[in-house]
Amino acid sequence: MTLTVSVLKMPYDEKLLSSLESIIASDPIADTLYLALKHKYYSVYCHCVNVSCCTYLLATKMGLPEQECLRLTLGALLHDIGKINISPKILYKPGKLNKEEWSVIKRHPVNGINLLNDSKLYHMVADSIRYHHERYDGSGYLEGLSGEDIPLAARIVSIGDCFDALVSFRPYKKILSFEEAIEELIKSKNTHLDGRLVDMFISIAPDFYKHHYHPTYFPLSVENSNKNYSKFIINEDSELEINWEEILDQLPDIGIILIDRDDRILFCNNFAAKLRDAEPGELIGKTIIDIQRPHRRIVVKEKLAKVKSGQANGWERLMARKGRYIENKYIKIADEKGCYSGMLMLTMDVTQGEKLLRMLLINLEKLSILAQANIFLKKVFDLEDTLNNTAALISKVLTLEKLWLVIMRNGEINCFQEGEQPLNDNQREELIKKCEKLVQNGLQEIIIEKWAGSKRIFIFLESGDEFKGFLVVETKGTMHIEQQEQDLLKVIGNYVAYAIKKLLFISRVGKFGNERSINESLQ
Domain of residue 328: give its range: 251-349
Same domain, 474 and 335: no
At 263 the pLDDT is 87
Q: Are 320 and 356 in contact (CB under 8 A)?
A: no
State how far the Cα of 311 lies from the Cα of 93, in Å rounded to an integer: 46
The CA distances from residue 372 to 252, 365, 379, in Å, are: 45, 11, 12
- Distance between CA atoms of 12 and 381, rounded to whole angstroms? 76
Give SS3 for 115: helix
Three-state SS at 449: strand
Give pLDDT tens digits for 29-64: 898 889 888 877 878 988 999 999 999 999 999 999
Task: Determine the pLDDT at residue 412.
Answer: 82
| pLDDT score, position 330 | 82
Q: For residue 511, count CB atoms less than 10 angstroms from its CB and return exposed for 0-12, middle for 13-18, buried for 19 or more.
A: exposed
For position 62, what pLDDT does the model report? Answer: 95
With H, G, I as helix, E, B as strand and everything else as coil, classify residue 226. coil
Please, are residues 438 and 458 in contact by the beta-carbon 8 Å criterion? yes
Q: Is 239 a domain residue?
A: no
Instruction: Judge whether residue 514 has pLDDT over 60.
Output: no
pLDDT at 342: 84
C-beta separation of 182 from 101 below 8 A:
no
Interval 445-476: pLDDT, tens = 788 888 777 888 898 888 777 778 889 888 87
What is the C-alpha separation between 246 and 365, in angstroms, rounded? Answer: 46
Gap between the Cα atoms of 194 and 156, Å rounded: 8
pLDDT at 47: 92
The last residue of one of the domains, among 295, 324, 349, is: 349
pLDDT of 413 > 50? The answer is yes
Pick from 303, 321, 349: which residue ends a domain? 349
Contact between 502 and 518 (Cβ < 8 Å): no
CATH of the domain at 275: 3.30.450.20
The predicted model gives 272-278 an average pLDDT of 83
Stretch 402-429: mean pLDDT, rounded?
82
Is the CA virtual torsion 221, 224, 228, 230 positive or negative? positive
Asked if residue 298 has pLDDT above 80, the reply is: yes
Average pLDDT over every residue of 356-378 = 64
pLDDT for residue 356: 58
Q: Which amino acid is at 441?
A: N
| 107-154 pLDDT, tens digit each | 999 989 988 988 899 999 999 999 999 999 999 998 999 999 999 999
- Note whether 25 and 154 are same-domain residues: yes
User: How far apart (Å, rounded) are the C-alpha atoms in residues 326 and 109?
Assistant: 43
Q: How confident is the model at residue 229, as a pLDDT?
A: 34
Task: For the chain, state the CA radius of gyration.
Answer: 36
Among the three residues 349, 370, 403, which one is the final residue of a domain in this structure? 349
Instruction: Give dist(CA 360, CA 31) in Å, integer.
Output: 32
Residues 21, 103, single domain; the answer is yes
pLDDT (0 to 100) of residue 291: 84
Q: Are residues 386 and 291 in the same domain?
A: no
- In this predicted structure, the answer to whether residue 287 has a pLDDT above a threshold of 60 is yes
Nearest CA-CA partner of 402 in 414, 413, 416: 416
Distance of alpha carbon 44 from alpha carbon 37, whole angstroms: 7
Per-residue pLDDT, 225:
34
pLDDT of residue 216: 60
Please provide the size of the chain in residues: 523
Nearest-10 crossing angle of helices 28-40, 42-61: 120
Average pLDDT over residues 494-507: 79
Query: Torsion-angle region of residue 442: left (phi > 0), alpha (psi -120 to 50) or beta?
Result: left
Question: Which region, left, alpha or beta, applies to residue 138 given φ > 0 means left and ψ of -120 to 50 means alpha?
Answer: left
Instruction: Identify the band that residue 424 occupies on the pLDDT scale cut at 50, 70 and 90.
Output: confident
Query: Is 468 within 8 Å of 483 (Cβ atoms)?
Result: no
Q: Confirm whether 110 is domain-assigned.
A: yes
**260 lies in the same domain as 408:** no
Q: Look over the chain and give the mean of its residue pLDDT values, rounded to a whole number.
A: 79
